[in-house]
Amino acid sequence: MNVMSIGIFVALFALVSALGMVASRWRRGDLSAIHEWGLAGRRFGTVMSWFLIGGDLYTAYTFVAVPALVFAAGATGFFAVPYTIITFALGFLVLPRLWRVARQHGHVTVADYIEHRFGSRALALAIALTGLLATMPYIALQLVGIQVTLGALGFPTHGWLGELPLFVAFGVLAVYTWSSGLRAPALIAVVKDLLIYATIIAALIVIPTQLGGFGHMFAALPAAKLLLKAPDATSLNGYSSYATLALGSALALLLYPHSMTATLSASSDRVIRRNMVLLPAYSLLLAFVALLGVMALAAGVGAMPEYADQFRQYGPNFAVFALFLHYFPSWFVGVAFAAIGIGALVPAAIMSIAAANLFTRNVWRPYFAPHCSAARETRVAKRVSLFVKFGALGFVLFVPVQFAIQFQLLGGVWITQTLPAVVLGLFVPAMRARSLMAGWIAGLGTGTWMIAGNGFKTATYTIHVGALAMPVYAAVIALLVNFVVVLASSLLFVKPHEEGVEGDLQNR
């Protein structure tokens, strides 16, 4: 344990905690209303939305897992770079239209929109439950990111002493989310992003210099990790998995509840369009983050004896931490690790708020309290956000991390199956809830079967076309099945216009 590193880490953590506590006084609104607590009154302009959406999509686990994947698997790990660019292109087409409909009708969640658009409470419930199930392991992985960061700082990671710092981080997250709602992660995202940018820029300058330059760094990589494995007559190998992982992950990222919550908090559809144009700056940052995995390979941190215990405990996830511990002074290690730790707080807060909004608006209110007041609805949302955090904390403390990763793989497959309802609903007037529900069931069943068939070890599933084997991201295969079922079931029925659809289309 280094006193300097820990002191700077704690100081920066305290700073953002204070920001979260006072955020309720920023752009004051009636926090007893769920659109104020859960969407910050839909008042974020271009700059704040840029920080909030960026801080939401680029999580602590991203900054740990992407370099870890490059460190372990090589070039395949760079699929994370194009998939974010695909997300923003799709977002430019879809999200402004969704925002306009949501603003006009007072929708707080995407499931609110589904119920209004199709007049189906069952389909809205299906979309809401899918979002909840996909979000829970995602929050748990943010806490895993904090746990690895604390371990890298030298804190014990077992027993009550090891769990105490995680409880403190959880408590801080719970308090400022309860008191300030979405305003808290929005303010903290500004500090988090500035720290991340400073950390990555410093790493790009210092580490390659120590390794003899970028050319020497790439030359030190094993040939098998430098490029994707080329296809041959019997297999597409890494090409098909790389392409489908990029596409499927882009669709999932667009549809996750925390992405939708950050989007619906914007002040106008023009703000969303601007941000879809500006946010690829984060994709550039992500490419630099992936390069950290290349640096870790070139530096050989996995073979350094001083980190042998940590690599045994955390595996490739420790690669980034080993790099900073090896090449930077202790004061900068504190800054870098604080950036990663704070990078877990922002998305975890938004995810818990998004989950609370979904449960309260689309499960609790319609089925248990249809006539409740706005203030009571918000109180329930706050309690649910707290319960979600408790669930994620319990997941980290009592369930092996591998299970959280497996559930997160499933979450990405599941959330992708909501795409036909959300996107086709915006652009195809004749869609019916019955067809979309049938496609959703088929997609979830297919995706879950493929992941389970792989023993929950990988998100890709190998399909065979003649003698050709193609590893494909399970979410993409399941989505194709979903679309086929939607189309087939739509052809079996007459497709009358749903009530209110034509008016919605005119307003769009």
Q: How many residues does the chain have?
A: 508
Question: What pLDDT was estimated at residue 508?
Answer: 46
Of 22-26, 263-267, 302-306, 309-313, least confident by mean pLDDT is 22-26
Is the predicted pLDDT of residue 482 greater than 90, yes or no? yes
Alpha-helical segments (H) within 256-373: 257-264, 269-278, 280-299, 308-314, 319-327, 330-359, 365-368
How sure is the predictor about 367, in pLDDT bands with cuts at 50, 70 and 90?
A: very high
Percent of the chain, pLDDT > 90? 36
Q: Which residues of 236-264 are buried (b: 16+ CB within 10 A; e: fewer)?
A: bbbebbbbbbbbbbbbbbbbbbbbbbbbb
Question: What pLDDT was estimated at residue 329?
Answer: 92
Of 90-94, 178-182, 398-402, 453-457, least confident by mean pLDDT is 398-402
Q: Pick left, alpha or beta for residue 122 (phi over 0 → left; psi -120 to 50 → alpha; otherwise beta).
A: alpha
What span, in angstroms and rounded, lies between the C-alpha atoms of 271 and 49?
A: 8
Where is pLDDT greater, at 37 or 137? 37
Residue 488 lies in a domain: no
Q: Strand pairing partners for 463?
A: 470
Q: What is the pLDDT of residues 12-37, one digit of tens each?
A: 888 888 888 888 777 777 888 898 99
Where is pLDDT greater, at 25 or 10? 10
Is the predicted pLDDT of residue 333 greater than 80, yes or no? yes
Residue 319 lies in a domain: yes
How many contiguous H segments (helices) and E segments (strands) does the chain have?
26, 2
Q: What is the pLDDT of residues 405-417, one digit of tens each?
A: 677 778 889 999 9
Residue partners of 29: CB distance under 8 A and separation at least 6: 36, 40, 41, 43
Task: Supply 342's token pair.
Answer: 């704070």
What span, in angstroms and rounded, lies between the C-alpha atoms of 481 and 478?
A: 5
Question: What pLDDT was estimated at residue 56?
Answer: 75
**Residue 227, burial from CB neighbour count under 10 angstroms (0-12, 13-18, 19+):** exposed
Where is pLDDT greater, at 359 or 226? 359
Task: Supply 378's token pair.
Answer: 């918000």
Is the predicted pLDDT of residue 504 greater than 70, yes or no? no
Residue 350 is part of a domain; what is its CATH number?
1.20.1730.10
* DSSP conformation class of 31: T
Residue 77 lies in a domain: yes
Is the predicted pLDDT of residue 506 greater than 50, yes or no? no
Mean per-residue pLDDT for 424-453? 91
Residue 409 lies in a domain: no
What span, in angstroms and rounded, lies between the C-alpha atoms of 360 and 148?
A: 32
What span, in angstroms and rounded, lies between the C-alpha atoms of 75 and 246?
A: 13
Question: What pLDDT was estimated at residue 144?
Answer: 79
- 1: three-class secondary structure by DSSP: coil
Mean pLDDT across the chain, nearest whole number?
Answer: 86
- 430: three-class secondary structure by DSSP: coil
Domain that holds residue 11: 3-398
Q: What is the pLDDT of residues 47-91, one digit of tens each?
A: 999 888 887 777 777 788 888 888 888 888 888 888 888 999 999
* Whether the Cβ atoms of residue 71 and residue 321 lie closer than 8 Å to each other: no
What span, in angstroms and rounded, lies between the C-alpha atoms of 23 and 164?
A: 26
Residue 8 lies in a domain: yes
Question: What pLDDT was estimated at residue 505?
Answer: 41
Residue 385 lies in a domain: yes
In angstroms and rounded to an integer, the radius of gyration of the C-alpha atoms of the chain is 23
How sure is the predictor about 501, in pLDDT bands with cuts at 50, 70 and 90?
A: very low
Question: What pLDDT was estimated at residue 157?
Answer: 65
Residue 502 lies in a domain: no
Question: What pLDDT was estimated at residue 233?
Answer: 56
- Give the dihedral of Cα atoms 467, 469, 474, 479; nearest 10 deg: -50
Where is pLDDT greater, at 392 or 425? 425
* DSSP conformation class of 493: S
Question: What pLDDT was estimated at residue 403?
Answer: 67
Question: What pLDDT was estimated at residue 174?
Answer: 84
Is the predicted pLDDT of residue 478 greater than 90, yes or no? yes
Question: What pLDDT was estimated at residue 162?
Answer: 61
- 466: three-class secondary structure by DSSP: coil
What span, in angstroms and rounded, lies between the C-alpha atoms of 163 and 345?
A: 17
Q: Domain tally for the chain?
A: 1
Residue carrying the six token digits 């392409």 = 243
